[in-house]
Amino acid sequence: MIKLKDYQKNAVENLHRKIESSLRASENEVVIFQAPTGSGKTVVVSELLKELVKNKSGHKELSFVWLSVRMLHEQSKEKLENYYEDDRLIKCSYFEDLEDRKIAENEILFINWHSINKKDINIFVRENEQDNNLSSIIKNTKADGREMVLVIDESHHTASSDKSKELIEVISPKLVLEVSATPHLTENVAEIEKVRLTDVKAEEMIKSEITVNPEFLNIKVGTKSSDEIVIEQALNKRTELAKMYKKEKDNVNPLLLIQLPDKKSNLISKKEDVIKILDKNGITEKNGKLAIWLSEDKSDTLQGIEQNDNQAEVLIFKQAIALGWDCPRASILAIFRESKSFTFTIQTIGRIMRMPELKYYTKTPELNQGYVFTNLSDIEITEDYAKDYLTVYESKRDNKIYKNISIPSVYLKRQRERTRLSGEFTKLFAQIAQTKKLKSKVTLKPSKLISPIISDGKIVDIDKSGEIEHKGKIKVALNEKELQEMFDKFIIRNCTPYAPADSSDRMKTALYQFFNKDFKLAKYDPKVQRLVLGQENAQIFVDTINLAKEKYKKEIVKKVNEKREVIETLKWEVPVVISYNSRYQKEERKLSAMKPFYTAKPSEPEKMFVELLEGSKKVKWWYKNGETEVKYFAVLREDNLAFYPDFIFQLKDGSIGIFDTKSGRTAETDEAAPRAEPLQKYIKKQNKKGKKLFGGIAIYVNGTWRYNDNSKYEYNPNDLSSWKILTL
């Protein structure tokens, strides 16, 4: 089972609440789930549907229709089947799998949008003799008293088309869940749940940014064609990244994607041209380094190309085929000029957004980026997510005015093993099971599991707590659904002190693997649940789980720092290169260490501080700091968080200023002191080592810049006598 990230768990919880509310509404409603490409939308929706069928809250039984573009309905069905493999709460079906021409309770019918939208093969909504079309299937399903939930996957391709609206009318679902990075439905929208790009990056799921044509200004063009330049630069970058993965000791072979123009008249000649250029660079189908994925040409080397260690280095493809294709090792995309104008969308760059190992690299941050190489003269970015993500501007450090400052900085890595069970728990459980000879203690024919139901209950006082008075209890054997619920509760109860939401899947896996290995039971066989919960066995499994948890705490948790892992850069410098997306604007700033200087929505104090630095005769250079990434400067706070001051600058006398600008209002918040005091501690420590640092929280009051460099931070707007005047 997949372990959900924090933002995914929040999305499931919020969507569940919003959808339950919509299902209870009198009208049919639309709920939108908006999340960036690469964030795991399918995983979130899979877990959401599971929660909906497990925890009904006043709504009817549910049947589902899942609509996807092109062949994505097959990918979605496969993903959901794998996701539901252990509990089998939900059945995944194609049209031909349905029984009695209806969608059963907790069953999902997967349909391909394009088979619906093509007039000649419109088998789903066309009337026929067998009365076996989508309209009649929906009618039969509703006649059984179930409500329809329609999931529109990757809706930006389909949801706004007239045919799609017509289809929604045919199904007339109680709820439409639109899932997309760029949703389009506007009618009857009751709720929107949005996952932010920053949250996905914080979990290191997707690349930190996408860079377009890096270092192209330094290329010696000569007699090369623009296609040659694009491909050769992309191959050079691929080689660089491959060396970096080896340095990191990760078995990842980065993949270069070459996208041919969609226009068919160009396709053959462009394909041949590209293959010739690749051949000159030692990349061929024969040596296994090239794979081709076109409707008319698919190479044998395509097999297993998604695997991180696959030997193929380059894949030639066409846009239409690769929609929704998932290959996390893809890091570089080459795109060629087309006769029509080309616009970047989140889908264009989505193919190189994923991190292959779901982690960022601190020593080689270039691996955290994706790269686009193109001979397009202009790039238009059409969607908000793409604007946030695609970096089209590049700023370089001006080494004519900048000299190395070599000051320490920190970067914090997340530590999750303290609060949740990792994959190591499964191994430790297997070890304990073997040493304690668990196999010999298991009773293979335990007592039948029953569910006692009270008989003739009576509530005498509605305000009095306690058990309901009753004459007795009847005993009923557990059905499969009740068995699953009982097993889930057993797992959750035994996860303590680890978070059940993050740990239960690991514990289930440990139990299933034990029975698979020692008793040859099939993976996820429901018999495992009856054996674990059986009266004769339950306690020995609880004991074994507890011993495994103790071993996990001793061998795994104790080795993990209580605080988040602090990665220290002993000699931090202003970054050599910083990339910016299209939301940033260029400004002429002669003393900025980064040229050109780019900015996006600076606060008023930040704007004023830049003017102060630019107008100073003492300042040699200044740098506007960023946040959250290893390349930016940070100081460790007392609460084990990182503090990123706004500005670093150097005076002509060699001293270095580190300042965080505030307005009067923000200077007195509870957040000011936890930043100001660690900064002063840092400055004093470095000055003892021979540095010349000064700085603190800075505010602009009555025409004067003042700053606080006291060990104990205090702000009183009526008494700023302890705040120094900043004269630059």
More confident residue, 333 or 423: 333
What is the model's pLDDT at position 106?
92
- Assign domain 6-196 to a CATH class: alpha beta
pLDDT digits (tens, 9 = 90+) for 642-674: 999 999 999 999 999 999 999 877 887 778 899
Is the CB of residue 270 less than 8 Å from the CB of residue 338?
A: no
For domain 209-382, the question of CATH label 2.40.160 is answered with: no
More confident residue, 235 or 272: 235
DSSP three-state, residue 330:
strand
What is the model's pLDDT at position 157?
53
Domains 6-196 and 209-382 fall in the same CATH topology: yes
What's the rounded Cα separation, in Å, for the pair 331 and 248? 16
Strand partners, 578: 395
More confident residue, 345 or 690: 690
What percent of the chain has pLDDT above 70?
Answer: 81
pTM: 0.58
Indicate if the pLDDT at residue 340 is higher than 80. Answer: no
Strand ranges inside 375-531, DSSP E: 380-381, 390-397, 407-413, 450-455, 472-477
Indicate if the pLDDT at residue 118 is higher than 70. Answer: no
What is the model's pLDDT at position 122?
43
What is the model's pLDDT at position 710?
94
Residue type for 2, please? I
What is the model's pLDDT at position 583?
78
What is the model's pLDDT at position 389?
59
Out of 3.30.2310, 3.40.50, 2.20.28, 3.40.1350, select the CATH number for domain 572-725: 3.40.1350
What's the rounded Cα separation, in Å, for the pair 360 and 413? 9
What is the model's pLDDT at position 132?
60
Average pLDDT over residues 594-623: 94
pLDDT digits (tens, 9 = 90+) for 504-544: 888 998 999 999 999 998 877 888 999 999 989 999 999 99
What is the model's pLDDT at position 462?
35
What is the model's pLDDT at position 358?
87
The domain spans of the chain are: 6-196, 209-382, 424-455+469-557, 572-725
Indicate if the pLDDT at residue 381 is higher than 70. Answer: no
**Confidence bin at 175 (pLDDT 50/70/90):** very high
What is the model's pLDDT at position 454?
41
DSSP three-state, residue 526:
coil
What is the model's pLDDT at position 464?
39
Least confident stretch, 74-78, 282-286, 558-562, 708-712: 558-562
What is the model's pLDDT at position 499?
77
Strand order, beta sheet including 29-34 = 91-93, 107-112, 62-68, 147-153, 175-180, 29-34, 189-194
What is the model's pLDDT at position 617?
95
Indicate if the pLDDT at residue 390 is higher than 80. Answer: no
- Tell me what the pLDDT averaged over the chain comes to: 83
More confident residue, 192 or 156: 192
CB atoms within 10 A of CB 499: 14
Classify residue 224 by burial, with Cβ atoms within 10 Å: 0-12, 13-18, 19+: middle
pLDDT digits (tens, 9 = 90+) for 448-480: 887 555 444 444 333 333 444 444 555 556 667
Integer Rg of the chain from CA: 30
Residue type for 477, please? A
